[in-house]
Amino acid sequence: MKRRGLTIALAVLLAIFGTAGILVYVNHANARALAGQRAVTVLIAKSLIPSGTSAGDARDQGLLGTEKLPAASVPTDALTSVTPDISGLVTDSNVQQGQLLLRPMLVTSAQVTTGFAIPSGMVAVAVQFCLPEAVAGNVRPGSQVAVLTTTVSAKPGSPTTAGNSNSSSLSAQAECSGTHQLTSGVTATTKLLLPKVTVLAVGPASVSAQGSSQASGSASSSQNSQTSALITVAVSQHDAERLIQLTEAGLPYLALLNASSAVTGTTTGASSKGQ
């Protein structure tokens, strides 16, 4: 009888522990579900907020309101209030009525006017590069690059090659499918032009910028866009003049820099050996 009573007591205890475990699991599951459904307060547009409106002005003008939404349905970059660090930022496009205000929607005023922020006192200049000259496409917005220039000249006493741009010049080619090669009787000189400039934007060169006619067809346009790119950099007016002249008279070449890169004004020369 004692053994039977002990068995019954153990069974009752196991049932109690099992029931308690189930209750604990259910409570945790409910807590997780409620956490996803808990209400959070976010900023929404009460009416249309025009592009270029600062967050502070939108708040002060009553264009922003708050709304409580389930946490699970709210993006992680949704704003809950206009804090001092974002009050001076402006909307990069119109914010429609009822739309959530997200952090990526707020940018500096310079980005709204130009598409990117140009450093004070600088100008933005875009230059077309073939991919090898653009570090094989590894240049990104924000990269620091050095700009080198290569020019060619005829050797003394050699026949002039004026009028034949394919043989006498290493200027940026309209098509990037070929290679830059020296011909007999010319010398190429490479030197550093700008030791350090900031890249503002990187984009494919347009068809017209590559000198392609409409008759070239879509296949040619696609090939060109894959082999060339427009690199926009921030430079001073003086350096912009030098860079633009370089694109007309020489071959611009970029060198990607890191924090420890060292560049000097060393000049190197190369002579052709004939074909």
**163-190: per-residue pLDDT in tens?**
444 434 444 444 576 666 666 667 778 8
Please report how many Cα atoms fall inside a 13 Å half-sphere around the Cα of residue 136, on the Cβ side.
Answer: 0
pLDDT at residue 194 greater than cutoff 60: yes
Q: CB neighbours of 85 closer than 8 A, spacing ≥ 6?
A: none
Does the structure show a pLDDT above 60 at 275? no
For 58-166, list the strands marked E by DSSP.
64-70, 90-91, 106-107, 123-130, 144-154
Q: Is 144 helix (H, G, I), strand (E, B) or coil?
A: strand
Q: What is the dihedral of CA 257, 177, 190, 202, to 10 degrees?
A: -30
At 223 the pLDDT is 40
Q: In whole numbers, what is the pLDDT of the chain averaged over residues?
A: 74
113/189 Cα distance (integer angstroms)? 40
Backbone phi, then psi, for 265, in 5-degree steps?
Answer: -90, 30
What would the mean pLDDT of 211-235 be, rounded to a whole number? Answer: 57
Tokens of 198: 């900031």
Residue 130 in this model has a pLDDT that exceeds 80: yes
- As a whole number of angstroms, the distance between CA 8 and CA 10 comes to 5
DSSP code of residue 160? P
As a whole number, mean pLDDT of residues 200-226 equals 48
Is the separation of the CB atoms in 127 and 243 below 8 Å? yes
Task: Give me the residues paired with residue 53 across strands.
Answer: none
- pLDDT on residue 25: 66
Is the pLDDT score of 88 beyond 50? Answer: yes
pLDDT given at position 177: 63
One-letter amino acid for residue 159 of the chain: P
What is the domain partition of the chain in residue ranges?
39-114, 123-271
Residue 221 has pLDDT above 90, yes or no: no
Structure tokens at 130: 């073939």
Domain covering 39-114 in this structure, CATH number: 3.90.1210.10
Q: What pLDDT is attached to residue 213?
A: 34
144: pLDDT strictly greater than 70: yes
Under the banding of pLDDT at 50, 70 and 90, the label for residue 27 is: low
pLDDT, position 94: 85
With a cut of 80, say whether residue 60 has pLDDT above it.
yes
